[in-house]
Amino acid sequence: MSSTGSPASPAFDLADDVRAGRRRAVDVVEASLAAIAEREPELHCFNLVLADSARQRAAEIDRMVAAGEDPGPLAGVPVALKDNLCTRGIETTCSSRILAGWRPPYDATVVTRLDRAGAVVVGKTNMDEFAMGSSTETSATGPTRNPRDPSRVPGGSSGGSAAAVAAGFAPLALGSDTGGSIRQPAALCGVVGMKPTYGTVSRYGLVAFASSLDQIGPFATTVADAAGMFDVIGGHDPADSTSLDRPTPRVVSVLGDGIEGLTVGVVRELLEGADPDVVARITAAADVCAAAGAHVEEISVPEVRLGLSAYYLIAPAEASSNLARYDGVRYGLRVDAPDAASMNVATRTAGFGAEVKRRIMLGTYALSAGYYDAYYGQALRVRTRIVEGFERAYHQCDVLLGPTSPTTAFPLGERLDDPLAMYLSDVCTIPSNLAGHPAISLPFGTGDDGLPVGAQLLAPALGESLLFRAAAVLEAGAPAGTGGAAGGVA
Amino acid sequence: MPGRYTITRDDVAHVAELARLELSEAELDMFTEQLGAVLGHAADVAALDLAGVPPTSHALALTNVLRPDEPRPCLDRTEVLVAAPSVEDDRFRVPSIMGEAP
């Protein structure tokens, strides 16, 4: 990975050092825990720091290396997990009071795959409650702060994972992306975040929010690290009935292939609501693509304008069904009451926060008699239109380019009481979820406020190879001094 | 068609009941206003003429997936029950339902 001309891959270089015995996993993990000890009280990236189990796992990795065994491609690399990924015997709360103290009886498939690759889990990261939010402020454990400017939000819902990587707590993290929950916080924190094609990464053990949209994906400081992480976690899993039973693209090997001769479409509608300084960065990113030999053209996909409205009917509808399982019977909180029905009501009323209640009620309404066809049915027809719009675009272009978020990181508290303003943060990321397509956000310069701007690349289903090739080109051409981690492990 | 899709306070009270949530008077006011704003934004979708456009409920063409019907280990019962709020005789215990005596 470190050969001349290849994109930087600090996490995998670190693993190579551990595998070759040049560096001890226990030292790597101590460096991670020291970075956490220093800034975690200010930032609150984690719901749970797993110092003891991380030290034990690191010592095990070192013993394997000493015994001549290969612990795997992520040997000794500290990884942070979003707190909606099930970890056997380790508290998994989704940042909700209703799951406080819950210890799942099984591991998510991605957790098993990371373990087999030799990664060391250092903690469970803070998130918007049940991944519903765009700022990590709806968490029952309190907000995470943006490491680039602690008066700002880190984005969300995977804000803890994005901030943990940006703060240098861990070089890699996992999040989940239902409407932009990996890409938007990656953009706001100045790191790389990627949402894979729906079905390429197993959702087994991911606590469900909106099942037709949810997808797990990586956070990293570089494109190559994100690519390597995708290769580790991707692939068919019989435990997830929506997992694609066909070869998943392997992306690390194509990273250096460039984009000469490809067509990059700059999507006019994604730039429409964006701040002028964000638009300027995306224009500069398009110039980098052109300089790399790509044909760059402006393209119109008017259907994406409808994405936000459709999403905020479809996702709550699915959520209202998925969250019916929190009834105080089998796990999580129970508020006692004389009969089962009042116990259900008391438990859910005490256990869910305001944003989760809003979404459950919105979804229940959109699905209810008399409104089903006007809202939910109509949103599903709009989803068809969005898929068709992308099909047309990909007939003309190989990849698409736009901003990840219309703005840079906004101040804490600014949008919390105005749900519609908060939902508008997701306007550029939602269309990919509705279509099931892959997309990536990478840091590309800063806004007028000095905060990171994320460039977003989109590709058709299973177009991860093209996506990462284009991302590597943009990373190499990005203005100096943006992205990466603020000190820490790698 | 302004107003047609506006959610009322009674609608909010009704969906809260369906969703098994109890709202205070103040919460009812707040959620009616907030959900109204979101649904107002969704009016662009509701107003479109999409007759004849098929719905897409999922990005993938889903097919049913079956595994071979072979015995294999399931979750450990003790580990599952230890997470439950109340357990009796290796089963989940709940308060009375349908009003019968406990």
> Residues near A168 by Cβ (< 8 Å), separated by ≥ 6?
A35, A485, A486, A487, A488, A489, A490
pLDDT, residue A487, reads: 54
Q: φ and ψ at A266, to 5 degrees?
A: -90, 115
Cβ–Cβ under 8 Å, residues A43 and A150: yes
The answer to whether the CB of A107 falls within 8 A of the CB of A88 is yes
Residue A98 touches partner B, C-beta closer than 8 Å: no
> Which residue among A32, A134, A135, A181 is the active-site one?
A181
Coil vs helix vs strand at A456: strand
Task: Give CA–CA dist B37/A422, Å, rounded.
Answer: 12
Mean pLDDT of the region B68-78 = 92
State both tokens at B43: 């009016």
- DSSP strands (E only) in A161-256: 172-176, 192-195, 216-220
In a domain? residue B16: yes
Q: Is residue B55 part of a domain?
A: no
Nearest C-alpha in B relative to A352: B21
Calpha distance A163→A156 (Å, rounded): 10
Question: To which residue do tokens 């994320």 refer?
Answer: A454
Asked, for residue B1, whether it belongs to a domain, the answer is no
How far is A182 from A177, CA to CA, in rounded Å? 5
Cis peptide bond N-terminal to A9, omega within 30: no
| Chain A residues within 8 A of B31 when measuring between CB atoms | 357-358, 361
How far A183 CA lies from chain B's nearest CA (Å)? 19
Structure tokens at B95: 């308060």
Q: Which residues contact A444 (CB under 8 A, 6 or more apart)?
A: A281, A282, A284, A285, A453, A454, A455, A474, A478, A479, A482
Cα separation, A186 vs A425, whole angstroms: 13
Rg over alpha carbons for chain A, rounded to the nearest Å, is: 21
Q: What is the pLDDT of residue A168?
A: 98
- CATH number of the domain to which B31 belongs: 1.10.20
Partner B contacted by A84 (CB < 8 A):
no
Q: Which helix (H) or strand (E) covers residue A302, if one does?
A: none
Nearest to A340 among B37, B75, B96 (CB): B96
Return the SS3 of A346: helix
Cα angle B18-B19-B21, degrees, rounded to a multiple of 5? 110
Tokens matching residue B92: 């989940």
Alpha-carbon dihedral sign for residues A355, A92, A228, A450? positive
Separation of alpha carbons A417 and A126, rounded Å: 20
Which helix (H) or strand (E) element contains residue A388? helix A378-396
Task: Find tokens 């308060």 and name the residue.
Answer: B95
The CA distance from A316 to B23, in Å, is 18
- Asked if A99 reaches chain B (Cβ–Cβ under 8 Å), the answer is no
**Structure tokens belonging to residue A319:** 């959520």
Tell me the chain B residues in contact with residue A329 when contact means C-beta distances shorter than 8 Å: 84-85, 92, 94
CA torsion sign for A82, A85, A86, A92 is positive
Restricting to A residues 356-375, those with a Cβ less than 8 Å away from any Cβ of B are: 357-358, 360-362, 364-365, 368, 374-375
ipTM comes to: 0.93
CB count in 10 Å sphere of residue B93: 11
Angle between helices A464-477 and A223-233 (to 10 degrees): 160
As for how many domains chain B has, the answer is: 1
Contact A385 B41 (CB under 8 A): no
Provide the shortest C-alpha distance from residue B19 to chain A (in Å).
7
- CB-based burial label for A59 (10 Å; 0-12, 13-18, 19+): middle
The predicted structure's pLDDT at residue A248: 82
Q: What is the pLDDT of residue B46?
A: 84
To the nearest whole Å, the CA of B98 is away from the closest chain A CA by: 8
Q: Report yes or no on B17 lying in a domain.
A: yes
Which residues does chain B have within 8 Å of residue A373's beta carbon, measured at their own beta carbons? none
Q: Give me the phi and psi of A366, to 5 degrees please.
A: -65, -25
What do you get for the CA distance between the two ends of chain A, in Å? Answer: 15
Which of B6, B14, B21, B65 has the most A C-beta neighbours within 10 Å, making it the best mutation to test the interface with A?
A: B21
Are the C-beta atoms of residues A164 and A125 closer than 8 Å to each other?
yes
Chain A residues in contact with B21 (beta carbon < 8 A): 345, 348-349, 352, 357, 360-361
Contact call for B35 and A423, based on CB within 8 A: no
From the list A445, A352, A421, A268, the residue with the least C-alpha distance to A96 is A352
**Cβ contact A436–B11 (<8 Å):** no
Q: How far apart are CA A445 and CA A431, in angstroms?
A: 24
Strands A120-125 and A46-49: antiparallel
Assign residue A119 a region (left: φ > 0; alpha: ψ between -120 and 50; beta: otherwise): beta
Task: Identify whether B80 is part of a domain.
Answer: no
Give me the residues paired with residue A298 across strands: A266
Domains of chain A and any CATH numbers:
10-305+381-477 (3.90.1300.10), 306-380 (no CATH)
Residue A157 is among the residues annotated as catalytic for this protein: yes
DSSP code string of chain B: -TTTTPPPHHHHHHHHHHTT----HHHHHHHHHHHHHHHHHTHHHHTS--TTPPP-S-SS----------------HHHHHTTSS-EETTEE---BSTT---
Tens-digit pLDDT profile for residues B9-62: 999 999 999 999 999 999 999 999 999 999 998 888 888 999 999 999 888 777
* Beta strands A78-82 and A172-176, pairing class: parallel
In terms of residue numbers, what domain contains B29? Answer: 9-46
Residues facing A48 on adjacent strands: A124
B87 in any annotated domain? no
Q: What tokens appear for A257 in the block?
A: 């292939």
Structure tokens at A41: 């009280």
Taking an 8 Å cut-off on Cβ atoms, the answer to whether A241 and B65 are in contact is yes
> Does the distance separating the beta carbons of B55 and A377 come in below 8 Å?
yes
Please compute Rg for chain B using Cα positions: 23
Determine which one of A32, A96, A134, A157 is catalytic. Answer: A157
- Which residue is closest to B62 within chain A, CA to CA? A242
Per-residue pLDDT of chain A (490 residues; tens, 9 = 90+): 333 457 899 999 999 999 999 999 999 999 999 999 999 999 999 999 999 999 999 999 999 999 999 999 999 999 999 999 999 999 999 999 999 999 999 999 999 999 999 999 999 999 999 999 999 999 999 999 999 999 999 999 999 999 999 999 999 999 999 999 999 999 999 999 999 999 999 999 999 999 999 999 999 999 999 999 999 999 999 999 999 988 888 899 999 999 999 999 999 999 999 999 999 999 999 999 999 999 999 999 999 999 999 999 999 999 999 999 999 999 999 999 999 999 999 999 999 999 999 999 999 999 998 889 989 999 999 999 999 999 999 999 999 999 999 999 999 999 998 998 999 999 999 999 999 999 999 999 999 999 999 999 999 999 999 999 999 999 999 998 767 776 555 4
